[in-house]
Amino acid sequence: MTDFLDPLPWLIMLPLAWGTLAFVLGPGRGGRLAVAAIALQGALALQLAGQLIDSGARVYAVGGWGAPLGIDLMADGLAAVMLLLTQAVALPLAVYARGYFAASPKGRELFWPFTGFLLAALNALFLSADLFNIYVTLELLGLAAVGLVAIAGGRQPVTAAMRYLFATLLGSGAWLLGVALIYGTYGSVSLAVLTPLIHAGAPLAVTLAAALMLAGLLLKTALFPFHFWLPPAHGGAPAPVSALLSALVIKATFYLALRLWLELFAPLTTVAAAQLLGVLGAAAILWGSVLALTQSRLKMLVAYSTVAQVGYLFLLFPLATLVPPGTADSALAGGVMQAVAHGLAKAAMFAATGSMIVATGRDDISRLGGVGARLPLTLFSFGLAGVTLMGLPPSGGFSAKWLLLGSALESGQWWWVVVMIVGGLLTAAYVFKVLRRAFLPRAAGDRVARVPRTLEFSAFALALASILLGLFGAPLLELLAVGREA
Amino acid sequence: MSDPWLPALVVLSSLLPGLIIFFLAESRIRLRTTLNLTGALVKLGFIGVMLWGVQNGREYVFRHTVLPGLDLVLHADALALLFVSLSAVLWLFTTLYAIGYLEGAPNRSRFFGFFSLCVTATVGVAMAGNLFTFFLFYELLTLATYPLVVHRGTDKALRAGHVYLAYTLAGGALLLIGTVWLYGLAGQVDFVHGGSLSALPPEAAGQLQLIFLLLIAGLGVKAALVPLHGWLPMAMVAPAPVSALLHAVAVVKAGAFGIVRVVYEVYGIEFAQSLALLLPLAIAASITIIWGSLRALFQDDLKKRLAYSTVSQVSYIVLGVALFGPLGTMGGLVHLVHQGIMKITLFFCAGNYAETLGIHKVSEMDGVGRRMPWTTLAFSLGALGMIGVPPLAGFVSKWYLGVGALEAGMPWVLAVLAASSLLNAAYFLPILHRAWFKPASGSWPDEKIPQRGRWETAPLLLIPPLATAAATLATGLFAGAAFSPLSWAELIAVREYLAWIP
Amino acid sequence: MDTLTVLCLAAPLLAAALLWLPASRPLGLRLAPWAALPALLLALAAPIPYEVDLPWLLLGTRLGLDETGRVFLLFTALIWLAAGWFARAWLADDARRHIFAGFFLLTQAGNLGVCLVLDAAGFYGFFALMSLAAYGLIVHDRSPPARRAGRVYLVLALAGEMLILSGLLLVADATHMPAAVACLILGFGVKTGLPLLHVSLPLAYAATPIPGAAVLAGAMINAGLLGWLRFLPLGEAALPGAGSALMLAGLLAIFYGVAVGLTQRQPGALLAYSSISQMGYFSVALGAGLLAPELWPLLLPVVVLYALHHALAKGALFLGVGVAERCGASRRVMLGLALPALALAGAPLTSGMLVKGGLKAGLADLPAPWAELLAALLPLAALGTALLMVRLLWLVGRAAPAQRTSASVVGLLAPWLVLLLALAGLAWMMAPQSLITKALSLGAQLDAAWPPLAAAALCAIALRLRWRAPMLPPGDVLVPLLRGLAYLRRRAPALPQWRIALPSGSRAAARPPQLESQLRAWGTAGALWLALLAAVIALLAGTG
Amino acid sequence: MSAALLYALAGAALFAIGLAGLLLQPHLLRKILAFNILGSGVFLILVGLGQRDGTIDPVPQAMVLTGIVVAIAATALALALARQLLDLTGQMRLPEDRPDAEPADD
Amino acid sequence: MKAWLTALIALLCSGLALALGAAMLALPEFAVRLPGQVAANLDASGVAHPVTAVLLNFRGYDTLLEVAVLLLALLGVFALSRHASDHAHPAAPAHPVLQTLARLLAPLMVLVAGYLLWIGAYAPGGAFQAGAVLAAAGVLLRLAGLLPAWAQPGRLLRGGLALGLLVFLAVAVAGLPQGELLHYPPALASPLILLVEAGLTLSIGLTLAGLYLASAGWRQ
């Protein structure tokens, strides 16, 4: 009976099931079901993490066939961290979404099924050890995300969804071509089988495959200059959707890029290619931050902030490629910590943003006066999330920055230090652009309504988590190291 | 004997009230006041216990591992307690003052919330046991003070807040780089007497000098070293209690205190000397001292004049740190306390003038000594103390700085001290002259609080400055007594130089 | 004894504190004149040497008296007592008399403390208290000349304070001795009116109410001298450079003071120049001590005695000027005034003659060319002093008749008489026997007699020929100096603002840059994607 | 060269054509068609390369079947979106590809 | 679009095609071969056709997710149609001949679908093909004006759409106590796969039809 309660398959099955049921049952009961189920998923993810810490990485053969004939799932520390992040972000957001859609019902009907499928896709993606299976999860993820963007309808969201759809399809098309080339070269799509086969001097097809898959993932992760689809998509969707997309969806493709780079294609990687990724990351940090600063709409500002924060993730590549193992470990830890911290903080920020928009009835930074007085908790959450994004202690963002800075200095790549520091200052500039407005008294003629408590507290929970991550990040790094020692 | 929880409790004793206050309704004045004062008194109690303990050789260390190789350490050593006691005592007074000052003003819950956070950060800065912990609270301080600076919400305040943030966050960034670099080079750098870096191989000297520059530049922003001081005079748009706190204990002090920690307990004074770092630091401090005073000379706005005075005065601390020898150390450390007491007095008084009579400018102060003798008395004590007139607190600092300069073989510092004192006199004495000796011009700019019997202004506004003015007198007059700031500074200096004093 | 010592300092401070509160003000005013009484008692009764340590006070204070200190405390207390008594009558109908009394008491506490204290920090502390509080005495009138005098006084006093502080710090370390000596000479020189540092004296003496001026000229100026005596390495180290400079400055002061003093129209200003001139003698003596340390043991008692004599004479002169102003320059008043004038001029049988003789003898053993130079110049100086005194008497004597005041004449006369008596007797009582015998010799008497006589003769001629002295403004060199400063201040560039210009968040363009909308176009993004693909292929292929 | 490899080569060409079309064609319907061509190219490569040694390989065939269904799903959603866009804006183009070239503020 | 950009894209695409071609001509021997393994395990798979075996057993997990993708696409269309149409449009009246033909063909198509479902275990065919035929029947009926558009599907219809996925999930989870997810005991493999396929056929048919029917009512 213990097998029946194995958390690993349930993490995928459960959201698929409740997503489907939520479609059948409708939003009211579906929402309640979703909250309960996500809570259960959180418990499962924790259980899985515990298993991993106790007994190391796990491989799970679906259907009992085993690779290369069947499909393997694989759970190591990295996957477990991402799973934890996913459930940790999803639970408060689910609570938030129930309150949000009660106040602003546009798009409420199908939110839960989409979210269920989205979470299933994420969990499946993090656990998959099969290139083709990953393709399917990518498509499931992409279509769920596009559906969520379009959920509220209207010219702007539909345009954004259209653009997003093309971007994600092109990305997964490139991925699939890569998979085809790999299968055509080696005859398998199992990561476990392929990893020992690929070595420096692999055939051209493998190089092409690596480049295609990587490029496809960059497109889906919205790394500069492929961020074009992200701000409208994340800025136009309802707040819980934006939060899910910014916090989790782009992390999934980043996770894949990391996996490919560090494991499957590690023998092919070069310093030059890593530097290229780093340069794009740096450009993303600067460009995204500057554009965030120029926005007049609150959600667009937060969306551009995501563009910038994605850049930090990619600094990990030059810092972890062909450097001493200790430096690489610290860079990896920093990158993953950044992914987690940004996930929590950005979810909090979008949630807080949504509350402010609900309260003021408009999405305009210059009309935020009075928010500080009426929604102090929400503004506080926004501020805390901002602290994480700025990388100020004691937040998860700081821990990430600390680790990345440390490895940059250790490996003598001081230019990334400059980028990170400047990025942090620019982040502060746009975060305070919002905060200072919100501190002002309410302008005559504006209204600031109260919002449901659940909105305020769920955003606060996320923001608090992003801060606490900085104080209690050590266990997370311990988990991350599982399956990585060898 | 180690008790880990007291330092944490000291931090929590203002953090928790602060967080609760945030969510209190504006109208719950009594509960808010109770929370504020309870927090301040409880904190004082804890500190009292630790003072007694440290005197008797106890250790209070709280340690929590954040990441591998990155510990959050709160360590209440003698140096920390010097600053913590100052902060806690002045916090109590400032809270009282602020309650009086903000009576009837809007957004008080927010104000007192951030106010408490600000003190939390200051206490954390004081007790930080390593550079990381220091950095953590240093940045928290930045964030907690920003809302206080822009509290009034005017364009001027927002602009000042903007500049303040730009400076302090950039400074924080430099500090971060330096810290990370140092950790990469030397591993976890705890604050220990005599520093720990001298054990590094000699090849690292160049890097260490560069790191020192980064750290000092980062800390120098808050300590308002010229030319990093631009934010400070602008930040004086904040309400008077905030300015008082900012200038006396919180922000500038945190920077100065950080420099103290870096020089003494990261690098170690001897090692810093051997790396030839102290002379440039002394020069930077001297330039700041003179420049700040010169600028103060030309300000008509009272608070702005005081702000430039702070620029100048805080660098006395830095100067003391840069003087190699226990006497200079004592001078710097004791000025940490003395400057706080004196400057908070001056800002309280400036606030009283503004709040009672609407006086914001020096040129409006003619004859104010007749109308508000007690406030002006307190102001005079603070100002004379700043000039270094004995037996007030500032004299003691200057004396030890002077002796320390000779001990360190930098007699030119005496000239700096003398020049600065003259400049201090040049911008403070005319104020006193106006206040005491000139006849009042007839009507005050905006008399808000009328004379009520013996009270020239609201009692809550008057008691804090009088108390701190009395402290200015007492710390100077009884500098030689036990438990005076000077004797505590001596205790620290003796421990710092244990290896050095034969 | 310890209680009395503490009371010396506490009494004026306590009385000052009583003046602060309106309720206790009358009591304070009543006590104010007598605040120096404990000090006088201490000076008379204290065993010598006497010390008491107060480690908790300031930086560890040590109070006490040695022989020098006792003499200084004696005349200082005496003058303060007399001046306080005098002030009560002088300011009887001044509405701000409690303010005057307050500053008077604070200054007094400082001055008495200076005499009593034996450690450097404490000395500096009391000295500063005295110097700063005296500002309140100088500006008491609130008249423009008074304010100007106060400003000049304060600037110089503060500069002096700083020099003193530096000197006190430096003197502890033998390696910095020259610098320390320079700082100390100049720092205390502000008080003692060394040339160029003297400019505040005439302004201040003229502006301050008479009792204030009396203590300024009688007591406080000697505090500067005491500073020299306490901290210069007199008799310990030979510092020929500093000694020569100080002697030269002293000689210059002696003659310069006389010369400018003769041009003055105000008795106060004239007396200030007289003080400048008289303090020149001390400079000469101390310079000699620095130049030739072996002479110092002989010189010290003479210098102390000279200080006593000069202080009491100046105090008596000022009070006398005040009495003449209020009660009219009657013959009896003029006679009273003549006593200190003669004493200053060193007329026979006065204390002046006693101390000048001693000084001359003490300086006679100086190496060449100093001994010769002094032998030639000192008689001339004595003549100058005598001329100055004659001029003073003439100025006072032809002044307008007395203003009638309600103040009791006794209140003014009694303290003056006390001082006159002290002047007449005290120096003789305290002088060592050898000095007295020498002074009573006929040669000495003749030596002392001719300058006053010559001066009187000269004056008679001058009056007859109606010589008119040119008039120099009090403060002489100050006037061009201030003009120069004012010019510089007009021309000085404004200090630059060192602040980094920041773009404000709101000012940053509200619309996204053009580049961003181009990046957002499918075609551009696609081309970039293809380019990235090509780049990654190329870079990854590098491994093969 | 086996026949299967020939399929794969054709697939490469189709992929490139589809890719160019997806990027260059402004009309949404054409973009969707181009995407399908791109997808078909990949499917050909998958099957073709998988069988380049002449053995029949059911695994890529099954994969392609899955891929086709996914492509259908994506195409359906894309068509729905495109039609919705037509309803909302009157044009089947993305804003930046429209002749009237309004600023791409969405 | 600017001409140089067009040229650049064309150039890069051609370059990619050439590179792909070059890479394909230089492939080494396969390191792993799966056809043999498929054949070896075919008996245990519960079906006789290797592609179906891969599709529903060896890589059944892919198929499970793929069904979810399909449902997701329909959800997307529903999401859009909620905003596009205020009410379900009645079917437009069609030509009687078309209607008659549709009435005749529809049952026949259902029959064909059933056959395709059953034959899938042995030969090309299976749930997708069957579902596609079913969907075609639905489209035909709609075109003949015999079916309304599905702007707001009722609960029954939603249940039908979800049925295939739910059955698949149930079967997948049912394997957990015995071993792994989607583990079919060899004895039960055949009926279980048939059960899954039957559910899928219905749902896929409905879904594919729904992709058409859901947007059929949008205003033009």
The residue with greater pLDDT, C10 or E145, is: C10
List chain C domain ranges.
Answer: 2-479
pLDDT at residue D105 in the model: 45
Write out the two tokens for E82: 């909620």
Are D96 and C527 inside 8 Å of each other by CB? no
Write out the two tokens for B408: 């360190």
The residue with greater pLDDT, E55 or A1, is: E55
pLDDT at residue B501 in the model: 47
Q: Which of D14, D35, D66, D81 to mutate to test the interface with E (most CBs of E within 10 A)?
A: D66
Residues in C closer than 8 angstroms to B482, CB to CB, are 56
Question: H or E stretch including B250?
Answer: none
Angle at E35 between CA E32 and CA E37, to 5 degrees: 75
Are the CB atoms for A454 and A98 separated by under 8 Å? yes
**10-residue stretch averages of pLDDT, chain B, 502 residues long:** 79 90 83 90 92 85 87 90 91 90 83 90 93 92 89 86 90 92 86 83 88 94 88 86 83 91 88 90 93 89 91 92 89 92 93 90 89 92 91 90 88 90 91 89 80 80 93 90 86 74 44
Question: DSSP states of C323-381 as a string?
Answer: HHHHH---HHHHHHHHHHHHHHHT-TTSHHHHHHHHHHHHHTTPPTTHHHHHHHHHHHH
Are the CB atoms for B475 and B393 separated by under 8 Å? yes
Are D96 and C526 inside 8 Å of each other by CB? no
Residues in D closer than 8 angstroms to E121, CB to CB, are none
In the complex, which subunits touch C with 3 or more CB pairs below 8 angstroms?
A: A, B, D, E
D96–chain C nearest CA distance, Å: 6
Indicate the range of B132-141, C125-134, C475-484 predicted with least confidence. C475-484
Give the number of other Cβ atoms within 10 Å of residue A446's Cβ. Answer: 16
Q: Does E contact B via 3+ CB–CB distances below 8 Å?
A: no
Instruction: Please name the residue ranges forming H helices in A109-229.
Output: 111-127, 131-150, 155-186, 191-197, 204-221
Is the pLDDT score of E85 beyond 80?
no
Q: CA-CA distances (angstroms) from residue A407 to A19, A415, B177, E115?
A: 42, 12, 12, 63
Q: What is the DSSP letter of B193?
A: T
Going by C-alpha positions, the residue among B244, D48, A454 that lies closest to residue E23 is D48
Are the CB atoms for A347 and A89 separated by under 8 Å? yes
Most confident range, picked from A20-29, C464-473, C477-486: A20-29
Interface of A with E in 210-269 (CB under 8 A): none
Average pLDDT over residues A154-170: 93
Are B153 and A392 inside 8 Å of each other by CB? no
Are the CB atoms for D46 and E42 separated by under 8 Å? no
Q: How many CB pairs under 8 A join A and C?
A: 84
Is D8 an interface residue toward E (CB < 8 Å)?
yes
Average pLDDT over residues E124-133: 88
D29–chain C nearest CA distance, Å: 15
Provide the CB-side half-sphere exposure for D29 (13 A, CA): 4
Domain that holds residue E181: 3-216
User: Over pLDDT 90: what percentage of chain C?
Assistant: 37
The dihedral over CA atoms of D98, D101, D103, E1, expressed in degrees to the nearest 10, equals: 80
Hey, is A60 helix, strand or coil?
strand
Facing A232 at nearest CB: one of D19, D42, D106: D106
pLDDT at residue E144 in the model: 86
Which residues does A318 contact at the CB level (< 8 Å), separation at least 6? Answer: A271, A274, A275, A277, A278, A413, A416
Is B153 an interface residue toward A (CB < 8 Å)?
yes
Question: H or E stretch including C51?
Answer: strand C50-54
Average pLDDT over residues C527-540: 92
Give the number of other Cβ atoms within 10 Å of residue B290's Cβ. Answer: 18
C271–chain B nearest CA distance, Å: 27
Alpha-carbon span B48 to A188, nearest angstrom: 71
Residues in A closer than 8 angstroms to C513, CB to CB, are 291, 294
Are the CB atoms for C392 and C274 separated by under 8 Å? yes
Is B429 an interface residue toward C (CB < 8 Å)?
yes
Q: At residue B64, what are phi and psi to the nearest 5 degrees?
A: -140, 130
List chain D domain ranges.
Answer: 3-97
Alpha-carbon span B155 to B163, nearest angstrom: 12
C544–chain D nearest CA distance, Å: 22
Angle at B102 between CA B101 and CA B107, to 5 degrees: 160
Write out the two tokens for B453: 């019997």
C100–chain B nearest CA distance, Å: 12
The amino acid occupying position B241 is P
Residues in D closer than 8 angstroms to E77, CB to CB, are 76-77, 80
Write b or e for each residue in B55-87: b if 16 or more Cβ atoms lie within 10 A of its Cβ, otherwise e. Answer: eeeeebbbbeebbeebbbbbbbbbbbbbbbbbb
Give the pLDDT band (50/70/90) at residue E86.
very low
pLDDT at residue D98 in the model: 67
Q: Helix/strand/coil (H, E, C) string of C108-172?
A: HHHHHHHHHECCHHHHHHHHHHHHHHHHHHHCCCCCHHHHHHHHHHHHHHHHHHHHHHHHHHHHC
Give the number of other Cβ atoms within 10 Å of residue A128's Cβ. Answer: 27
Label the pairing between strands B61-67 and B70-75: antiparallel
Q: Which of E2, E4, E6, E9 to mutate to test the interface with C (most CBs of C within 10 A)?
A: E9
Facing D74 at nearest CB: one of A143, A184, A232: A143
Label the pairing between strands C50-54 and C61-65: antiparallel
The amino acid occupying position D53 is D
The amino acid occupying position B302 is L
Is the pLDDT score of E190 beyond 80?
yes
Q: CA-CA distances (angstroms) from residue B190 to B74, B260, B275?
A: 10, 14, 20
Label the pairing between strands B70-75 and C61-65: unpaired
Residues in B closer than 8 angstroms to A479, CB to CB, are none
Is B418 an interface residue toward C (CB < 8 Å)?
yes
pLDDT at residue B128 in the model: 93
Indicate the range of A367-376, B128-137, B208-217, C413-422 predicted with least confidence. A367-376
List chain B domain ranges.
Answer: 277-502
Are the CB atoms for B135 and B39 separated by under 8 Å? no
pLDDT at residue B499 in the model: 53
Is the pLDDT score of A486 beyond 60?
no
Give the pLDDT band (50/70/90) at residue E92.
low
Residue range C222-252, pLDDT digits in tens: 999 999 999 998 888 888 889 999 999 999 9
Are E9 and D13 inside 8 Å of each other by CB? no
The amino acid occupying position C464 is R
D23–chain C nearest CA distance, Å: 6
Indicate if the alpha-carbon torsion angle A289, A292, A293, A299 is positive or negative.
negative
Angle at E40 between CA E37 and CA E46, to 5 degrees: 110
Residues in C closer than 8 angstroms to E9, CB to CB, are 523, 526-527, 530
Give the pLDDT band (50/70/90) at residue C506.
very low
Alpha-carbon span C36 to C415, nearest angstrom: 14
CATH fold of the domain at D3-97 = Helix Hairpins (1.10.287)
Residue range C139-191, pLDDT digits in tens: 998 888 898 899 889 889 999 988 998 898 888 777 888 888 999 999 999 99
Structurally, chain E folds into a number of domains equal to 1
Facing E182 at nearest CB: one of A62, A109, A110: A62
- List residues bridging with A74 in a β-sheet: A59
Are the CB atoms for A253 and A214 separated by under 8 Å? no
pLDDT at residue A485 in the model: 65
Residue range C344-389, pLDDT digits in tens: 988 888 888 888 888 888 888 888 788 888 888 888 888 999 999 9
pLDDT at residue C465 in the model: 81
Alpha-carbon span C341 to A387, nearest angstrom: 81
Q: Which of E8, E71, E77, E161 to mutate to test the interface with D (most CBs of D within 10 A)?
A: E77
Facing C523 at nearest CB: one of D24, D104, D105: D24
Q: Does B contact D via 3+ CB–CB distances below 8 Å?
A: no
A272–chain C nearest CA distance, Å: 6
Alpha-carbon span C305 to C71, nearest angstrom: 8
Hey, is D98 helix, strand or coil?
coil
A398–chain B nearest CA distance, Å: 9
Indicate if the alpha-carbon torsion angle E77, E80, E85, E86 is positive or negative.
positive
E55–chain A nearest CA distance, Å: 10
Is B108 an interface residue toward A (CB < 8 Å)?
no
Is the pLDDT score of D4 beyond 70?
yes
Residues in A closer than 8 angstroms to E60, CB to CB, are 62-63
List chain A domain ranges.
Answer: 283-486
Are A207 and C508 inside 8 Å of each other by CB? no
Instruction: Please name the residue ranges forming H helices in C172-266.
Output: 177-192, 200-207, 210-215, 221-231, 240-262
Q: Counting beta carbons within 10 angstroms of the beta carbon of residue E95, is it exposed (0 to 12), middle (13 to 18) or buried (19 or more)?
A: exposed
pLDDT at residue A61 in the model: 92
Are C527 and E16 inside 8 Å of each other by CB? no
Are the CB atoms for A287 and A339 separated by under 8 Å? no
User: Over pLDDT 70: what percentage of chain A?
Assistant: 99
